[in-house]
Amino acid sequence: MMDTGSIRRYVAVAALVLAAALQPGAARTHDRSQWSTVWATAMMQSPLPPSAIRPATLTTPTLNGQTLRQMALLSAGGSRIRVRLSNTFGRQPLRIDAASVGRTVADGAAGQLDPASLHALRFDGRADVVVPPGAVRYSDPLDLAVQGGDTLGISLYVAGTAMPSTWHQDAVHDNLISTPGNYTAKAAMPVAAKTGDTLWLSGVDVQADTPLPVLVTLGDSITNGYRSTPGTASGYPEQLARRLREQRPACRAGVVNTGIDGNEMSGRNDGYGPGEDMATRFGRDVLGQSGVRYVLLLGGVNDIGETTSALRPQGRTLDDRTVAANVIAAQKEVIAKAHAARLRVYGATILPFEGTQNAYSEAGERARRQVNDWIRHHAGFDGVVDFDAVVRDPAHPARIRADFDSDDHIHPNDKGYAAMAAAVPLSWFGCRQ
């Protein structure tokens, strides 16, 4: 006879399996192994209206009978893949007229693919797909063996005119827009423009012989890898994924990055930054990833810094206790949601940022220390990585170390991100000693 806890676990797993089976575009075969997301990015709305800290409206490039080729660095491998397209913030149906996937050629021309690996993508057996407003669609499963560290080029052809309303700002690498034409079947394509954004493409899943657990890193620009060297995958989640691959077979996990530049932990601090706050988007950006088992949360610096920047021109000072309490409340919400979904949730302390233009204040520093004290001693995370201690200057703890500083005094450089990745315990992810 099952005990009460076992019954609850059985019901929860059954509900998740049923939900996965009902996902639009999900595989209709009864595979014994599950899907795992090994690359993802967090989407937000476009156009993005101005705010107190962002005077200009942000918009996406317009496509007009062109092919968009976007790059996805896989954190782990498998024998089959599927691609996820998102129209989450769209008000009109999204029509993609053709799509393909192939491995990029190492040290080749930008966006050039290995012809032997180039395959058309199908959606319910069709070459084209229409994604309804607010929805996502998966491609049909494709037999394509991939490894962690492979970069896929995913090409989307739009025959008409489209301005994407669902996007990720700052991919930390270049994606490519062709001259007019459908180049989805071509290993190389003529490039009319480059964009640093990701449009509509929100995830890549793999299927392996045995289930692959997935870590979702949830955060802001520091998680997204802002000010790391573009095109080198030097953000801390990407370097952590590399660490895990180097420890195979003792370690086996995928890592996906759902950071958004300027994103806030809480919606209670006036929401100056782009994207829905982390507590709100948890359901989509964490629970929406296939095979998720772990979450690593780093958030709160923008609640402090962006509020400070917005208040400064008014001659007002940040209320450190209120802002800290809002960040803590939002982190508690994430912890509760993660545990309700039976995920392991790990926390990270907020990095120091004294010297940052407009964003730093003594009141903000007090708020940061209040939040960090709570994270270290009271939060109830399943584990804590002290990124503050890793990157701070021992002689001046409110500042980031000079050799870890990207020169804006808030974002690490490649070396700083490497130190963060090295500080994350691999035992959290079931790595055998």
Per residue in 117-162, pLDDT tens? 999 999 999 999 999 999 999 999 999 999 999 999 999 999 999 9
Per residue in 268-299, pLDDT tens? 877 788 999 999 999 999 999 999 999 999 99
Per residue in 367-384, pLDDT tens? 999 999 999 999 999 999
Please report, for residues 81, 85, 144, 275, the alpha-carbon distance to residue 25 in angstroms, rounded to integers and kept in the order given. Answer: 13, 10, 18, 26
Q: Which amino acid is present at 57?
A: T
Contact in structure between 218 and 283 (CB atoms under 8 Å)? no
Determine the pLDDT at residue 256: 99
Contact in structure between 298 and 355 (CB atoms under 8 Å)? no
Determine the pLDDT at residue 433: 63
* DSSP-assigned letters across all residues of 40-90: E---EESSB--BTTB-S-B-PPPEEEEEEEEEEE-SS-EEEEEEEEE-TT-
Closest-CA residue to 353 (of 405, 309, 429): 405
pLDDT under 50: residue ranges of the chain:
1-32
The Cα–Cα gap between 74 and 71 comes to 10
Q: Retrieve residue 212's tokens.
A: 């692959």
H helix or E strand, kind and range, residue 335:
helix 320-340
Q: Which CATH fold would you assign to the domain 213-429?
A: Rossmann fold (3.40.50)
Closest-CA residue to 351 (of 308, 412, 419): 412
Scanning 176-277, the segments in alpha helix (DSSP H) are: 221-224, 236-246
What is this structure's pTM? 0.91
Cα three-residue angle 310-311-313, rounded to 5 degrees: 85
Q: Retrieve residue 84's tokens.
A: 């996820």
Sign of CA pseudo-dihedral 260, 265, 266, 271: negative
Determine the pLDDT at residue 241: 98
Determine the pLDDT at residue 426: 97
Determine the pLDDT at residue 305: 96
Determine the pLDDT at residue 197: 97
Q: Which residues are bridge partners to 83 per DSSP?
A: 204
